[in-house]
Amino acid sequence: MVSVREHYENHLARYYAWICGGAELNIAENRNFFKTHKIQPLETGRAFDLGAGCGFQSIPLAELGFHVIAMDLSARLLGELKNKAAHLPIETMCDDILNFSIYARGNIELVVCMGDTLTHLKALQDVEAVLLQAYAALMPKGRLILSFRNLSQALEGLDRFIPVRSNDDTIFTCFLEYQKETVRVHDIVYEKKKGQWAMRKSAYRKLIISPQWIQNQLQHVGFNIEFYNDKEGLIFIVARKK
C-alpha cells in the first residue's frame, strides 16, 4: 500500500485521462454541469479547484471567466493541465488540499472538489477540515461543489473486479477490497511492448464517505444544500454559504 501521491506519481497519473474516457469528454461534461447549475463569475471570479488533477473542472471554469487556483498533490497531472491550458487564467499549486487555507485569502466565490478527490483523504476528520476551510474562505453566498464516488454499498465476490478500460496495447483493471471505513483500491495494468505483455500494479486506500454523513457535515458547518444527486454511484452536491 502506498500513499496517494506515490500511487498517482508512480502509477495512475500516466493513464488517468485515458481511463476516464479522455480529457475532451470530461471537460465537456463539466461544461454542461456548470452551465446547468448556472455557475459563472459574479464578483471577484476567484475560484479554487481542490484535487484538480489534469483540469477536468479547472479548464471549463477558466473558460467561463473564473481565475482558478488548481491544487493537487500530483505534479505530473498539474503538468498536463498546464500544457492543455496555458492560454487560460489557471494557477497551479502542487500541495495537499488540507493546506488550502494557506493560499485562500478572501473574496473567493467558488470552491470545487470534484471527481472523487474527497475519498482520497485519509480520514473523515480531513474531509471535515476541507469543508471548514472552504466555508471560511468563501464569500457570503459563495458556492462549494463536491462530487465523489459513493463507496458505502460494498461490492462482493467477483463484482469487485472492475474492467476499467482497454485497447490493443493496454488493459486497466481495478480490484476493490472493502474494509470497515476504507476501500483498498488495486490498479492493475497490462501493457504490450514489442509483442510482450507486462503487468504494472499499485494499491492505495480510499475513504468511505456516506451520503448522509456529508450532508449532515455540510449543514453543520453552515452550508445550505441547493442540489444533491446520487447518479450511478456518483454523488454531486452544490452547497451555498449562508
Return the residue matching grid coordinates 487556483: 69
Give the nearer residue to ligand SAM in terms of CB position, either 71 or 235.
71
CB of 180 to ligand SAM, least distance (A): 21
Angle at 108 between CA 105 and CA 114, to 5 degrees: 115
Give the nearer residue to ligand SAM in terms of CB position, either 36 or 219.
36
* Whether 44 contacts 65, CB under 8 Å: no
Cα torsion for 229, 230, 236, 241, to the nearest 10°?
50
CB of 54 to ligand SAM, least distance (A): 7
Give the nearer residue to ligand SAM in terms of CB position, either 71 or 221.
71
Q: Which residues bind ligand SAM (CB under 6 A)?
A: 4, 8, 51-53, 56-57, 71-74, 77, 96-98, 114-117, 120-121
Nearest to 109 by CA among 72, 134, 79, 73: 134
Give the nearer residue to ligand SAM in terms of CB position, either 73 or 209.
73
| Whole-number Å distance between alpha carbons of 117 and 52 | 8
Helix or strand (DSSP H, E) at 182: strand 182-193
- What separation in angstroms does the CA of 1 have from each of 5, 145, 187, 219? 12, 30, 11, 34
Give the nearer residue to ligand SAM in terms of CB position, either 219 or 229.
229
CB of 58 to ligand SAM, least distance (A): 8
In this chain, which residue has its C-beta nearest to ligand SAM?
115
CB of 145 to ligand SAM, least distance (A): 11
Judging by DSSP bridges, how do beta strands 90-94 and 67-72 pair with one another?
A: parallel
**Which residues are registered as beta bridge partners of 163?**
173
Cell of residue 177, nine digits: 477490497
Give the nearer residue to ligand SAM in terms of CB position, either 43 or 52.
52
CB of 140 to ligand SAM, least distance (A): 26
* Whether 207 contacts 181, CB under 8 Å: yes
The amino acid occupying position 171 is I
CB of 157 to ligand SAM, least distance (A): 25
